[in-house]
Amino acid sequence: MISKEAIQKLRNEIGLRSGPVLSLYLATNPASRDVLDYSASGKRKPFVIRAKDTMAALGVPAKVRDRVLDRLEHDVIRGRTRAVFATEDEIEIYDLNVDLPVVNLPHGEVLARWGEPYVLPLVLALDEYERYAVVLLDEERWRLFEVYLNDVREVADAFRAVAPETWRKLSESKPATPMGPGALGTTARGGMGRDRFDRRVLAWTHRFYRQLAGELERWLERLGAERLMLMGVPEETRYFEELLPRAVRERVVAHLPMPAGGSKVDASEVLALTEAAIEEVERRKEAELLDRIREEGVWGTENVLEALQEGRVYVLVMPWHPQGKVWRCPDTGYAALARERAEAVCPGAAEEADLAETLVELAGLFGARVEFVRGDNADRLEREFGGLAGLKRW
């Protein structure tokens, strides 16, 4: 999983370097038939061949080109996308298990630039993909996982403060009454003595879960996780959710069943179990955003461009792989769909520019957050909103 330190370095060092830098993006999915066939044959992978040809066409110095090709040929690449930033003195490599916005690599497999560092696709991906926390609630022990960019890691010391005998007490003294927010007020079967025993256990369990809720809140802040999934027996996860602080409870986006392996489940299986749920959550959030724009937003490429440059847009919604060109004034940065409109601002000086890069640059300049939509939501964005939309400040 890409570390926070690596993300900071990407933003503050590589992105601000004066150049020249080779910025290279490759589709490297090891599960693709193309990659598997070439790996088995011992030949160069297609993306390596295309990377070599592309670098030669760009005039990348041989020292840089050879260093990059050596890493592409000899590294074990497990991700779907590799981003490379190289100079004559150093090389930085990021392997990700996700596709990147703005560029459509599967059709060309390689995107490269030589000059100013081109970190935009990678930075957009880091901002676009949400960081999830997954808590596995098992009576033997609880586990916390971080899921980000389709990768997973276990937070090994998340609940280490809880002593093993405490877990043992929890598993050995499960109450006979149903767990739930109102359970302390119920009357258990089996007489007054059993009722008092169950009430003591429920009170202890309630305090214990409250303690774990506090631990979890601190970990969410430390991880920067905005979305939370609870995995386990439904009665347990629902009970625990009710005891979470409100700010944490509002982050819960899904309840997942207990995996077959219980608390001994492998992290990779946790990732597989969350994949469909995360996809559903992300598409639902996109649809809700489009619904909100329908009520209070602006749409249509020309309308959004104008509103964005007037500072009236604070959320810009784009398709995952936007296509098109705009005309820009090199001095002022003003952009318009029609050349005539741009040249009304800068007579005879308007230059053609990429729509996606222009939109992202303008969003940064005017303080708008960029959100991407995919699949059916991207189709809806095109069909109902003319391909581009935004939420307005006023």
| Arithmetic mean of pLDDT, 306-323 | 95
Averaged pLDDT for residues 320-343: 94
pLDDT tier for residue 44 given thresholds of 50, 70 and 90: low
pLDDT at 133 over 50: yes
Burial class (CB in 10 A: 0-12, 13-18, 19+), 94: buried
Per-residue pLDDT band at 168 (split at 50, 70, 90):
low
Amino acid (one-letter) located at 169 = K
Q: Where residue 305 falls among pLDDT bands split at 50, 70, 90?
A: very high
User: What CA–CA distance (Å, rounded) separates 285 from 373?
Assistant: 10
Domains and CATH numbers, the chain: 4-128 (3.30.960.10), 132-265 (3.30.420.60), 289-392 (3.30.1330.30)
| pLDDT band of 41, cuts 50, 70, 90 | very low
In this predicted structure, what is the pLDDT of residue 269? 94
Tell me the mean pLDDT in the region 79-108. 86
What's the whole-number mean pLDDT along residues 314-340? 95
**Residue 137: pLDDT over 70:** yes
Write down the pTM of the prediction.
0.83
| pLDDT 10s digits, 169-225 | 665 555 544 455 555 444 444 555 556 556 766 777 788 888 889 889 999 999 999
40 — pLDDT class (breaks 50, 70, 90): very low
Q: What is the pLDDT of residues 349-359, one digit of tens each?
A: 999 999 999 99
At 224-273, the pLDDT tens digits run 999 999 999 999 899 999 999 999 999 999 999 999 888 789 999 999 99
Taking residues 281-294, report their average pLDDT: 96
Q: Are 366 and 372 in contact (CB under 8 A)?
A: no
Token code pair at residue 42: 């011992």
Rounded to an integer, the average pLDDT of 77-94 is 90
What does the pLDDT read at residue 113? 93
Give 14's DSSP letter: I
**What confidence score (pLDDT) does residue 174 get?**
56
Give me the pLDDT at residue 256, please.
Answer: 96
Q: Could you tell me what percent of the chain has a pLDDT over 90?
A: 62
Across all residues in the chain, what is the average pLDDT? 86
Q: Amino acid letter at 78?
A: R
Give me the pLDDT at residue 383, please: 97
Q: What is the dihedral of CA 324, 329, 335, 341, to 10 degrees?
A: -100
Over residues 118-146, the mean pLDDT reads 90
- DSSP for 133-192 reads EEEEE-SS-EEEEEEETTEEEE-TTTTTTS-HHHHHHHHHT--SSPPSTTGGGS--SSHH
